[in-house]
Copies of this chain bind each other. A is one copy, B any other.
Amino acid sequence: MCEAHAFILKDGEEEMFLESVDLVEMEEDEIKLVSIFGEQKILKARLKLYDNTKRKIVFEEL
């Protein structure tokens, strides 16, 4: 219910790349995301926006 979805900014557009994010861990410039389904994604990015009301986390690539 409470999970947010992760988006990546591409050419000014927000593109969803991971649903129902459970965990986000930053290590150096790499971010590891894990969904509640156990799906994992790693990307070189940084946080741009977290909007609790819209349930979204937006990253921009480095």
Q: Chain copies in the assembly?
A: 2
Asked whether any CB of chain B lies closer than 8 Å to the CB of A3, the reply is: yes
Given A1-B2, A2-B2; A46-B23 close (CB under 8 Å):
no
How many chain A residues have a CB neighbour from B under 8 Å? 22
Is the CB–CB distance between B49 and A24 below 8 Å? Answer: yes
Q: Once the chains are docked, how many angstroms separate the CA of A2 from the CA of B53?
A: 9
Is the CB–CB distance between B22 and A46 below 8 Å? Answer: no
Q: Mark A1-29, 1 if CB is under 8 A from B, else 0.
A: 11110000000000000000111111000
Closest B residue, CB atoms, query A58: B26
Binding site for B on A (CB under 8 A): 1-4, 21-26, 31, 36, 46-53, 55, 57
